[in-house]
Structure 1
Amino acid sequence: MNFNIKEIVTAFMVLFAVIDIIGNIPIVIDLRKKVGHIQSEKASIIAGAIMIVFLFVGQRLLSFIGLDVHSFAVAGSFILFFIALEMILGITLYKEDDDDAMNATVFPLAFPLIAGPGSLTTLLSLRAEYSTENILVAILINVIVIFIVLKTSSKIERLIGANGIKIIRKVFGVILLAIAVKLFAGNIKALFI
């Protein structure tokens, strides 16, 4: 084992910024209003499992099905784009199914909001620079932080208030839209080279 505190902290900070769980609080609150209870533990564990599996088999899996990282990122940017439109315009594109809370816990919360194209492509980039065990520790720390934020999102909502949530929702909708555009622009060029 080659644990390195600097690598762990750097990988944690990069993943934390890309996952942006604090910025996703308005989305989490909105999902809770749509479907009721969201299973914070399940969402955190599923997102963590997706990231860990993708860390080890992501590149090979994409290659096996004939995709590259750039195609994956472009597809994910569309999902983020539509979620951002929901936030900004106050419309509903995501349709609830019969088992709403379970579906919302997995999609769109665990994937693509937490373990989305941004975080998964970031993991592939980190793997090229850092030791796998350090990235694993960074993922686990992020999962703990994600769980805490998801579990306390109702308290955060009470603290900020309804109008505060609306303002934050619009602002983060624009930020998410910008992230989707950046993810799209950064990867679409590579598809045509």
Structure 2
Amino acid sequence: MELNFREIATASMVLFAVIDIIGSIPIIIDLRKKAGHIQSEKATIVAGLLMIAFLFVGKEILNLIGIDVNSFAVAGSLILFFLALEMILGITLYKDEAPETSAVVPLAFPLIAGAGTMTSILSLRAEYATVNIIAAIVINIIFVYIVLKSSGKIEHFLGKQGINVVRKIFGVILLAIAVKLFAANIKSLFI
């Protein structure tokens, strides 16, 4: 197992698109207004640990309930597909209750390390080396931390339209990745 920068870049883009921390800036700003403070360090550390733990024990959990990684990857590709549609079309297919505090729970889970992120991590594990996925997680966690720390400045800089453009660009990338992931794993289910 050696570092493959192409795998790291692709996995980083997938996680970046799924975590969608830029698209979550309005939620983060709302949390900051309600609670007055966001625990950026705590939220990013907990989210990172959750993602890395799921990378290692997620497959075992699936084996325990009798699901192979390829089936999970196909299911994950469908979730990524619908997440991408949400981002591109500006619609909400999945509605979650609005978090009420800025504690670790609404930030680290489900906002940063939510179901889509966990599904993506296991889907990526079906295709990429673990070391490259860990590197992608670390890159994203660093980026998440920077965004959490400077969410007000980013919102002011990008503006509402800028955030919408970034969401749509990453939605298209995520859609393409979902199609590729589906195509790569669907064959093994019929063998």
When normalised by structure 2's length, the TM-score is 0.70
* Residue matched to 1:64: 64
Distance 2:153 2:18 in 1: 13
SS at match of 1:20: helix
**CA offsets 1:93-150 (integer angstroms, 9 cap, x no match):** 232326456446422531245x4333334346424xx5xxx97677545533332233
Unpaired runs of 5+ residues, structure 1, are none
Instruction: State how far apart, in whole Å, the 2-side matches of 1:135 and 1:177 are.
Output: 19
2:35 is aligned to: none
Amino acid at match of 1:110: A
Aligned to 1:107: 110
Please name the residue that 2:75 is paired with: 75
Q: Partner of 1:171 in structure 2?
A: 169
Amino acid at match of 2:142: I
Alpha-carbon deviations, 1:140-173, whole Å to 9, x = none? 4553333223333332222122222222222222
Is the 2:28–2:148 Cα contact (8 Å) retained in structure 1? no
Q: Amino acid of the residue matched to residue 78 of structure 2? A: F
CA deviation profile, 1:23-52 (whole Å, cap 9, x unmatched): 82442225447x634764454234322332
CA distance in 1, matches of 2:20, 2:178: 14
1:116 counterpart (99, 114, 118): 118
SS at match of 2:182: helix
Assess if the C-alpha contact under 8 Å between 2:77 and 2:123 holds in 1.
Answer: no
Q: Is the 8 A contact 1:81 1:176 kept in 2?
A: yes
8 Å contact 2:85–2:175 — kept in the other structure? yes
Among the aligned pairs, what percent are the same residue? 49
Amino acid at match of 2:175: L
Give the drift of 1:67: 0.9
Q: Does 1:36 align with 2:31?
A: yes
Gapped regions of structure 2 (runs ≥ 5): 33-37
Matched to 2:73, the amino acid is A
Kindly tell me: are residues 14 and 157 of structure 1, through their superposed partners in 2, closer, same or farther at Cα, counting changes over 3 Å? same
The corresponding residue for 1:190 is 188
| Shift, 1:72, TM fit | 1.4
Q: What pairs up with 1:45-60 in 2 under 5 angstroms?
A: 45-60=45-60
Aligned to 2:84: 84
Distance 1:55 1:144 in 2: 18
- The alignment of Structure 1 onto Structure 2 pairs a total of residues equal to 182
- Equivalent runs, 1:145-164 vs 2, <5 Å: 145-164=143-162
